[in-house]
A and B are shown apart, each in its own frame.
Chain A
Amino acid sequence: MLYNIFIDPFMQMGAAPDLLVQTIWEGLVAGVLYALIALGFVLIFKASGVFNFAQGIMVVFAGLTLVGLHQKGVPAWLALFLTIGVMGILAMAVERVVLRPLVNQPDIILFMATFGLTFIIIGLGEFIFGGEPKQMIADELGLPQGTMRFDILGGKVIIQKIDVAAAVIASLMIAALALFFQYTRIGRALRAVADSHKAALSVGISLNQIWVIVWFAAGIVALITGIMWGARSDVSFGLQIIALKALPVLILGGFTSVPGAIVGGLIIGVGEKLAEFYWGPLVGGGIENWVAYVIALAFLMVRPQGLFGDKIIERV
């Protein structure tokens, strides 16, 4: 038994390194997408202290809008720009209707409000575009299709081109966000708001404006996530449960850290794929769905603020 848990999996890894590489690659790909979802959460949480339950549905809604517009005869690129516009309108609407009236309310109230927002967006999405799953318009957007094969380590590794594209686009976006946060006036204002609302107000930063910007940024992140994830499966409301996958990522990486979301996402992605492939057979498989939460739970006991998160000391 102990042999099966602690030794045999590593023997297998050593015996077939190409399979190991393949598994890790698939984990990384899944991890990038988890990281993107978590990133959407982190952006909003940092700037407003709101845990945005609706991030998952925003991913679906963005994908749905894009595909839906295309189905109605709008060219793919125009549909993309229109979707970006829709996410902007959504951000403004959320700020005006949800955040502004609830300013200074306890966090749990705002959390519940995003809960409600989730169902409003579901209803809205179904009403406009219908509830049936849709095919992502990956081709029309110029995303690469097909696979690449590499013969390495005495075996072969198969890589989907779309996954490579996803990884590249995600990295570019994360780098752009990091630069934006670090070196621009608005980026600094965003960080300032995350640190102290009072002080930010006193230097003339408008909280309402900042909230619109972060929700818009989270909307863009959601759109990219929706495209990438949709291209791997399809765009359906079932996709929103991936938002729950962001939870272990956030616990691992810390709720307030952008690098944390990325590293956390990759760890969870690789961790669950490895666990499924090498340890899954011991219990009859299917552990991919819950092993992430086990990792997160174990992590909570050791480092509750996450890998990179701020230490939270609250007086009781």
Chain B
Amino acid sequence: MVPAQHIAPGDALLKVENVSLRFGGVKAITDVSFDIKKGEIRAIIGPNGAGKTSMLNVINGFYHPQEGLITYKGATRAKMKPYVAASQGIARTFQNVALFKGMSTLDNIMVGRTLKMKSSFFWQVFRHGPAMQEEIVHRRMVEEIIDFLEIEHIRKVPVGKLPYGLQKRVELGRALAMEPELLLLDEPMAGMNLEEKEDMCRFILDVKEQYGTTIALIEHDMGVVMDLSDRVVVLEYGRKIADGTPDEVKADQAVIDAYLGVAH
């Protein structure tokens, strides 16, 4: 594995260069380049089918782009497995919530600690010695996250039974349990009511403030995007059409055309 380089705040944590992704003849992403700086909240926006989720999938190794380079923490890679991405500190949530539905909130978040737990299979089998101490240490971390996200009351509930808004919160908790350096959020506020959205916004800002986590998020609610993000990249039909601060992007003619349609 490539040795992790230290990245100072403000430097690029992740760089995407000329990435193209095709599924057979369908072009999902065409020649997109942008970077994510350490410590910032970077929004990826665009109309449906613009390739936003595909972009996240490329970053965390679910998809392997046919062309282009991805540089993460100073190491450039052609292909990365999700397992490796996760172990290097990239965590994510999903558009349609991918939780372990049969398991409790606590267990779901504990699964997020998988990579941080190191005791051997041998001790695990006997549930003894180092494995036991490790459980206790990590359980404490998980309780902190549960506190932070204000979900104490649902810790033993199987997540399949929770309302959607809370599921999204548990999913965020699971990602946070990985102590990520780069957190990818795919529509963290989709399907939420106003109050839930405000809570989620607060959590995202707190994550950035308290843990210094770099965040890339996809979001459709423009109000949220403009409030939260430091910089915005706009995709349309798999191409990048704008990149800049929220104000710059808002004033960009190509973006306005993409969202409102253009008169022919």
Contact = CB atoms under 8 A, between A and B. Distances in A.
Given A204-B178, A206-B83, A195 B91 contact: no
A199 B94 contact: yes
Interface string A214-253: 0000000000000000000000000000000000000000
A189 interface: yes
B114 A201 contact: no
Contacts, number: 94
Interface in B79-129: 82-83, 85-87, 91-92, 94, 98-103, 107, 110-115, 117, 119, 121, 124-125, 127
A184 B131 contact: yes
A149 interface: no
Contact of B111 (A180, A203, A206, A310): A203
Contacts of B112: 203
A188 B102 contact: no
A253 B89 CA distance: 41
Given A189-B111, A192-B103, A192-B111, A180 B98 contact: no
A202 B60 contact: yes
Contact of A203 (B91, B119, B131, B134): B91
B100 to A, nearest CB: 4
B203 interface: no
Interface in A301-316: 310
A100 interface: no
A70 interface: no
Contact of B82 (A185, A187, A204, A213): A204
Contacts of A198: 62, 94, 98
Interface string A165-202: 00000000000100110011111110110111011111
Q: Which of B62, B124, B131, B175 has the most chain A CB atoms closer than 10 A to its own CB?
A: B124
Contact of A201 (B82, B107, B125, B135): B82
Q: Which of A187, A204, A205 has the most chain B CB atoms closer than 10 A to its own CB?
A: A204
Contacts of A201: 62, 82-83, 86
Contact of A199 (B98, B102, B124): B98
A213 B86 CA distance: 20
A224 to B, nearest CB: 15
B100 A185 contact: no
A199 B131 CA distance: 24
Contacts of A202: 60, 82, 86, 91-92, 94, 98, 175
A256 to B, nearest CB: 9
Contacts of B87: 204
Nearest to B86: A204
A191 to B, nearest CB: 6
Q: Which of B98, B101, B121, B131 has the most chain A CB atoms closer than 10 A to its own CB?
A: B98
A185 B124 contact: yes
A38 B79 CA distance: 40
Nearest to B84: A204
A180 B198 CA distance: 40
Contacts of A188: 103, 107, 110-111, 114
Contacts of A192: 100, 103, 111, 114
B115 A199 contact: no
A100 B175 CA distance: 27
B174 interface: yes
A191 B111 CA distance: 9
B158 to A, nearest CB: 10
Interface in B14-41: none
A5 to B, nearest CB: 42
A176 B127 CA distance: 10
B99 A196 contact: yes
Contacts of B102: 191, 194-195, 310
A194 B111 CA distance: 13
Contacts of B60: 202
Interface of A: 176, 179-180, 183-189, 191-192, 194-196, 198-206, 213, 310
6 contacts: A180-B125, A185-B124, A189-B111, A196-B100, A201-B86, A202-B98
